[in-house]
A and B are shown apart, each in its own frame.
Chain A
Amino acid sequence: MHPVLKLVIQRLALGLLLLIAASVLIFVGTQILPGDVAQAVLGQNATPEALANMRAQMGLDQPASSRYFQWLFNALHGDLGTALSNGRDIATAIGGRLKNTLFLASVAAAISVPTAIFLGLLAVRYRDRWPDKLISAVTLTSISLPEFLLGYVIMYVFSVQLGWFPSVSNINSGMSLWQKLNAVALPAMVLTLVVLAHMMRMTRAAILNVMQSAYIETAELKGLRRFTIIARHAMPNALAPIVNVVMINLAYLVVGVVVIEVVFVYPGMGQYLVDHVSKRDVPVVQACGLIFATVYIGLNLLADIISILSNPRLRHPK
Chain B
Amino acid sequence: MADTLLDIRNLRIEATVYAPGEKPRNAVIVDDVSLSLERGKVMGLIGESGAGKSTIGLAALSYGRGGIRLTGGEVLLNGRQIRGASSATLRSLRGKEVTYVAQSAAAAFNPAKKLMEQVIEATLHHGVLSQAEAEARAVELFRTLSLPDPENFGKRYPHQVSGGQLQRAMTAMALCPKPDLVIFDEPTTALDVTTQIDVLAAIKTAIAETGVAALYITHDLAVVAQVSDEIMVLRSGKMVEHGSVQQIIEAPREDYTRALVSVRQIDHAEKAPAAEPLLRAENVTARYGAMSKDVLSNVSVELYAGQTLALVGESGSGKSTMARVITGLLPPRAGEITFDGKPLPRALKDRSRDELRELQMIYQMADVAMNPRQTVATIIGRPLEFYFGLRGRARDERVQELLDAIELGQGFADRYPAELSGGQKQRVCIARALAAKPKMIICDEVTSALDPLVADGILKLLLDLQAREGVAYLFITHDIATVRAIADSIAVMYQGRVQRYGTKTEVLAPPFDDYTDLLLSSVPEMEIGWLERVLSSRKMASAGN
Chain A positions near chain B (C-beta within 8 angstroms): 213-215, 217-225, 233, 236-237, 310, 312-313, 316, 318
Contact = CB atoms under 8 A, between A and B. Distances in A.
B100 A223 contact: no
Contact of B125 (A223, A236, A313): A223
Interface in B397-431: none
B99 interface: yes
Contacts of B159: 312-313, 316, 318
B95 to A, nearest CB: 4
A220 B95 CA distance: 9
B125 A224 contact: yes
A235 to B, nearest CB: 9
Contacts of A316: 156-157, 159-160
B91 A223 contact: yes
B28 interface: no
14 contacts: A214-B102, A214-B104, A217-B65, A220-B94, A221-B94, A221-B99, A222-B95, A222-B125, A223-B126, A236-B113, A310-B112, A312-B157, A316-B156, A316-B157
Nearest to B109: A215
B120 to A, nearest CB: 10
A225 B126 CA distance: 11
B112 A218 contact: no
B509 interface: no
Contacts of A233: 110, 113
A225 B122 CA distance: 11
B95 A223 contact: yes
A233 B99 CA distance: 18
B125 A215 contact: no
Contacts of A220: 63, 94
A310 B110 CA distance: 13
A162 to B, nearest CB: 42
B94 A225 contact: no
Contacts of B90: 223
B409 to A, nearest CB: 38
A306 B169 CA distance: 29
B536 interface: no
Contacts of A217: 65, 102, 108
A217 to B, nearest CB: 7
Nearest to B98: A221
B119 to A, nearest CB: 11
A237 B65 contact: no
Given A214-B102, A220-B94, A312-B159, 14 more contacts: A213-B107, A214-B104, A218-B110, A221-B94, A221-B99, A222-B121, A222-B122, A223-B92, A223-B95, A224-B91, A224-B121, A224-B125, A313-B111, A318-B159
B337 interface: no
Interface string B73-97: 0000000000000000011111110
A275 B56 CA distance: 71
Interface string B103-145: 0100111111100001001100110000000000000000000
Interface of B: 61, 63, 65, 90-96, 99-100, 102, 104, 107-113, 118, 121-122, 125-126, 156-157, 159-160
Contact of A221 (B61, B110, B112, B118): B61
A2 to B, nearest CB: 15
Given A218-B100, A218-B102, A312-B157, A223 B108 contact: no
B60 to A, nearest CB: 11
A236 B61 CA distance: 27
Contacts of B122: 222-224
Most chain B CB within 10 A, of A215, A236, A237, is at A215
A219 B117 CA distance: 12
A218 to B, nearest CB: 5
6 nearest CB pairs, A to B: A222-B95, A214-B107, A223-B94, A222-B122, A223-B95, A236-B112
A310 B113 CA distance: 11
B107 A225 contact: no
Nearest to A224: B125
Nearest to B99: A221
B99 to A, nearest CB: 7
B110 A215 contact: yes
A199 to B, nearest CB: 21
Nearest to B121: A222
A233 B122 CA distance: 13
Contact of A312 (B65, B99, B108, B112): B112
B96 A223 contact: yes
Contacts of B94: 220-223
Nearest to A238: B112
B111 A218 contact: no
Nearest to A218: B108
B93 A223 contact: yes
Contacts of A218: 100, 102, 108-110, 118
Contacts of B92: 223
Contacts of A310: 112
A218 B113 CA distance: 13
Nearest to B112: A236
Nearest to A318: B160
Contacts of A237: 110-112
A214 B185 CA distance: 13
A215 B108 contact: yes
A219 B107 CA distance: 12
A219 B91 contact: no
A88 B104 CA distance: 68
Contacts of B160: 316, 318
A114 B234 CA distance: 51
A271 B127 CA distance: 58
A214 B107 CA distance: 6
A306 to B, nearest CB: 14
A222 B157 CA distance: 19
B214 to A, nearest CB: 15
A78 B90 CA distance: 64
Contacts of A236: 110, 112-113
Contact of B63 (A214, A221, A224, A318): A221
A253 B147 CA distance: 51
A237 B118 CA distance: 15
A236 to B, nearest CB: 4
